[in-house]
């Protein structure tokens, strides 16, 4: 992890279950091959009393039944691309 934290199985479940304002994570797609896997998920939470939704992609490498590398990419759902960042549709 980029935070250099290390968790055992129970600790990993606990930190995610107790994460502030986290409500639910739904796995929408999961692909695995050999020691690599990727999941695409939808996460719901509450921020400042308002519901928010995120999309997250998680890329994992495992060795000896342990995760040795993990990268997550998070984004808000429903964002609009900033003006001027896409080709003119005309």
Q: What is the dihedral of CA 76, 77, 78, 82, to 10 degrees?
A: 30
Q: How confident is the chain (90 residues) per 10-residue block, as mean pLDDT?
A: 74 84 92 96 90 93 89 87 83
Domain ranges of the chain: 9-76
For the domain spanning 9-76, the CATH number is 3.10.450.50
Instruction: Check residue 2 and give its pLDDT.
Output: 61
Main-chain dihedrals φ then ψ at residue 18, nearest 5 degrees:
-100, 10
pLDDT value for 66? 85
What pLDDT is stored for residue 62 in this prediction?
93
* The model scores a pTM over 0.75: no
How many residues are listed for the chain in this entry?
90
Q: What is the pLDDT of residue 11?
A: 85
* pLDDT attached to residue 53: 93
């Amino acid at each position: 992890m980029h935070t250099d934290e290390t968790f055992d199985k129970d600790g990993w479940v606990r930190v995610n279950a107790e994460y502030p304002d986290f409500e639910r994570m739904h796995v929408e797609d999961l692909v695995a091959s050999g020691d690599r896997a990727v999941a695409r998920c939808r996460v719901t939470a509450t921020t400042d009393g308002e519901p928010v939704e995120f999309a997250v992609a998680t890329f994992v490498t495992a060795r000896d039944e342990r995760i040795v590398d993990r990268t997550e990419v998070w984004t808000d759902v429903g964002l609009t691309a900033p003006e001027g960042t896409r080709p003119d549709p005309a």
